[in-house]
Each structure stands twice: as C-alpha cells, then as structure tokens.
C-alpha cells in the first residue's frame, strides 16, 4: 500500500504486474529485512579465486564470479564507495532485489529520479529495476504465468513433454496431443512448458508454464523459485484487494482407470 503509486508506475512503464515485483522482493529479502550481512568484496573474491573444485561446473562458475568481481570493483570506483562497505549475500547479490553487480550495471534504473541508483535504500529504484529486469528477459504483458494441468492418461507422453525442461516449446494443441491440456489455456498465444515439481518421495506435481513463468526463472534458475514468487505475489494481491488468490495448485498425474474385470457367465447346467 505504501508503494502502490510506484508499483503502478512501474507496471505502466515496463508492463510487469505489481504482484510480480512484490513477489520477487519478498522472496529475495523479506522486503528489505534480510539483504545479507557479508562483505560483497569477500564473497565475490572467494568465489572468483577459490570456487569449490568439486562443483560440476567449477571452471565456468569461477569465470562468472571473476566477471562479477570486476564489475563490482568498477561500480565502486565510479560511485566513489569504499569496496569494503557494501554488504550482501554469500554470492555477492545486493540490495532489496538482490542484484548481482552485472545485473545492477545492465538493468538497474534510477526510478525515483534523484540522479543515482540505490538498490539498498530506494524502494522506488528497487521496484523499477526488478520490473526492468523482467522486461529485458522476455516478460509478455498481459500473459498469464501458468495454467493448471489437466491430464489425459490415455495419450500422455511425459518424456517428450519434459525433455525441454522449463523452456516453453509446445503450442496448446501440441501439448494437448501429448496428453496435457492447459486448463483455460487452449487459446493461449505462444508456447508452453510442462513444469514438473518434485516432492521428495511423494509423486511429483505439475503446472503448465508460459513464457512469463520462464522469465521469472531468469532471476533464479529454479521452477520452485518461480512458483514461490508467483504464489507470494498473488497472496499479497489478494490480501490487499480482499479477493481470492489466483493460484493454480500443482496437480499429480491421475492413476489410469483400472478396467473392470470381465467375468464369464457360468455355463448352463446340463
């Protein structure tokens, strides 16, 4: 409520619903309550030069963090800020929306108009920057994030549907032909993905994700993260408006119907 005007302005400018921005900042830092207390310089230097060798992509990740460290040092020099001052996450993410240095450089915006970008203290800058990040990563204004999944177990081809992972790859008609109908989504304009959410030893559950679901995962490459952001945003929106949260509950695949046993009629007694 305190930021309604700024959220509305960001939605109008970038096409990203306020609920999505609210979901991101809530999941990332509990609205600024936990922005991390580690020196960003220490986090980035550790990961840049002493990344765990056991990681399957250690060399790739080490190069990434070397680039982030370089970007951080350039940012601090340009801002005239001591490199030991900023605090953030164990990975070097900073501010209300937990931007990495390269994301700060590319997509952070001065949304309060004070002539500088401050994602630590300016709620407006954080809101505008998250919305701008989503726009830059393919957010489609007006498109749903997901649809409930309806299964046709007779034609279900789960391996084909799951092969692209969370990348939207199927038209609604193609998905229906493979045994999954996006509820209320057969007229959807664009491609869809079947999102599998594993539940430990229990059966996995599923939703149908759109391009906008995929865009949320560009912030954090996890379908669970995207579901958390979406659900939190919808809950806050519902609490603010007195409505019911527009949450599509993931569903499990129904068990195939068991055919009735055919019992032969008894032979007539001779």
**Residue-wise pLDDT tens digits, 133-158:** 999 999 999 999 999 999 999 999 99
- β-pair partners for 206: 196, 251
Q: From the candidates 11, 28, 68, 196, which is the catalytic residue?
A: 28
Task: Please give the Cα distance from 14 to 142 (Å, whole number).
Answer: 12
DSSP state of 30: T
| pLDDT tens-digit map of 2-41 | 999 999 999 999 999 999 999 999 999 999 999 999 999 9
Tracing tokens 């109908």 back to the chain, one arrives at 181
Residue intervals in the chain for CATH 1.10.530.10: 146-241
Annotated active-site residue 28? The verdict is yes
Check: CB of residue 98 under 8 Å from CB of residue 108: no
Task: For the chain, state the CA radius of gyration.
Answer: 23
Architecture of domain 146-241: Orthogonal Bundle (1.10)
Residue intervals in the chain for CATH 1.10.8: 4-136
List the structure tokens of 192.
């869809």
User: Coil, strand, or helix at residue 261?
Assistant: coil
CATH class of the domain at 4-136: mainly alpha
Task: Please give the Cα distance from 111 to 119 (Å, whole number).
Answer: 10
């Amino acid at each position: 409520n305190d930021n309604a005007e700024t959220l509305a302005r960001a939605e109008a400018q970038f096409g990203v619903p306020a609920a999505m921005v609210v979901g991101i900042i809530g999941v990332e830092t509990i609205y600024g309550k936990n922005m991390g207390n580690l020196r960003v310089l220490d986090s980035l230097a550790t990961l840049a030069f002493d990344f765990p060798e056991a990681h399957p992509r250690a060399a790739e990740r080490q190069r990434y963090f070397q680039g982030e460290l370089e970007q951080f040092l350039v940012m601090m020099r340009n801002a005239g800020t001591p490199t030991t001052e900023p605090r953030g996450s164990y990975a070097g993410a900073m501010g209300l929306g937990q931007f990495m240095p390269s994301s700060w450089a590319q997509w952070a915006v001065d949304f309060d108009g004070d002539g500088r970008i401050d994602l630590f203290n300016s709620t407006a800058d954080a809101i505008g920057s998250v919305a701008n990040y989503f726009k830059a990563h393919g957010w489609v204004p007006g498109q749903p994030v997901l649809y409930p999944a309806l299964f046709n177990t007779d034609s279900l081809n789960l391996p084909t549907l799951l092969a692209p992972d969370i990348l939207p790859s199927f038209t609604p008609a193609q998905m229906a032909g493979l045994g999954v109908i996006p509820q209320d989504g057969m007229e959807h304009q664009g491609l869809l993905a079947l999102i599998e959410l594993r539940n430990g030893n229990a059966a996995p559950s599923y939703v149908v994700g759109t391009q906008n679901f995929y865009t949320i995962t560009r912030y954090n490459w996890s379908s669970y993260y995207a579901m958390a952001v979406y659900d939190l945003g919808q809950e806050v929106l519902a609490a603010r408006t007195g409505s019911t949260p527009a949450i599509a509950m993931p569903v499990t695949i129904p068990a195939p119907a068991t055919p009735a046993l055919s019992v032969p009629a008894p032979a007539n007694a001779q």
